[in-house]
Amino acid sequence: MRGFRLGYGRFLVFGLLLAVLSACADGGARHANGPFYNRPDSTSPPGPPNDPWGPWIRDASRRFDVPDLWIREVMRQESGGRASATSRVGAMGLMQVMPGTYRELAQRYNLGPDPYHPYDNLQAGAAYIREMYQLYGSPAFLAAYNAGPRRLEDYLWGSRGLPDETRNYVARIGPRIASAAPARRAPAEVYAAADIGTNIPRGPRRMDGGTMLALREQRNAAPSMQVAQAAAPAPAAPPSTQVASLNPVVRMDPIPDGSTYSATERRRAGLDAGGTALNQASVAPPAPRQAPAAVPSRGGMSLIGSANAAPARPAPVAAAAGGGNGWSVNLGRFASENLARSAASSARSGAGGNAQTEVVRIAQGNSNVFTARVRGLSRAQAEQACQRLRAT
């Protein structure tokens, strides 16, 4: 998913040669347009009548390692190949990308300002598919694409059923894309944790008790990093403390089913700001001075748990001490550093005092996720912050 950049000096001629050969191989469809990634000036279909968007689909497929078939099937369901399609809720273009999601993807992947430009819209849709696939595997990425990742995680861990529209969406597209897979596959544990199949029953997720216990254990595993916490006075006999888990909430707008686009197709001018507010958080207690280091992760993706405003098993000293600034609020995992910092800044502004933000990058397979937290809080501030985040 990272853009490929050639250096200067002795590689410059080689880079220019590659660019010329790539343009020729795609029939002249790839051209630089100012600062934006390869975007052509024209919005006309670059392919033949039987495959009008084919060259641009293949370009997006190569860039993000998303199978050509996945992009085609999502596009067919979302817009029927109509570049100007607009849904009732404002999803736009061939891949029906929501305004807030497009802005984030455009910044991250150097796309142009017009979400209806077919080339950029396909790029954004393919990028979003790749991000959702990396978090949930296939076919679960389809549910995240349609309903949003937080809604999918509510189903995976929150005993809440998926909407009928999302269930039908996965059932229609899932079987048609089962034969294809990216060259860089998501880790096996990601597939296992979000194994929902293509025929999703109504109601909460169904699984046997052993599987649920194993997945919860994986979800609650500490991430592979050291979490810095303010030291508290060490008690004579430090009690055993259960560390509250990080909650991986990816703040991205859901993309609705393409069957909802409006009969009157239109371009939207002056798009309103989008984005999904966080509603999951956990508060971590201050660690004793001699507390052991965090246990490294076993390599699996930690998935969403319930919000916890207090430590699951609080130490008597920490629970009784209403003052002190050794508490922190863990905001979860995010798909980009910008989202993580935005969430942390928002939480800090509501916390007041001398709160500080912290964002940590964690390698997950072939991509990165970012954890965010606010630290330097009193217990009362931390609990109030959790309550505010749950209410949003």
Please name which of 34, 32, 53 lies closest in space to residue 44, comparing C-alpha atoms: 53
CA 189 from centre of chain = 17
Q: What angle do CA 100, 73, 264 make, to 5 degrees?
A: 55
Q: Could you tell me the two tokens for 330?
A: 């863990």
Q: Out of 78, 104, 153, 358, which one is annotated catalytic? A: 78
Hey, what are 192's tokens?
Answer: 């296992």
The encoded tokens of residue 163 equal: 């909407």
Amino acid occupying residue 319: A
**Rounded-to-integer distance, Cα 117 and Cα 100, Å:** 16
Q: Which helix (H) or strand (E) holds 373?
A: strand 367-377
Nearest in space to 77 (alpha carbons), one of 130, 132, 142, 162: 142
Determine contact, residues 374/328, Cβ cutoff 8 Å.
Answer: yes
Provide the residue type at 164 as one letter. Answer: D
b or e along 299-331 (b: 16 or more beta carbons within 10 Å of the residue's beta carbon)?
A: ebbbbbbebbbbbeeebebbeebeeebbbbbbb
Active site residue 189: no
Query: Active-site residue numbers?
Result: 78
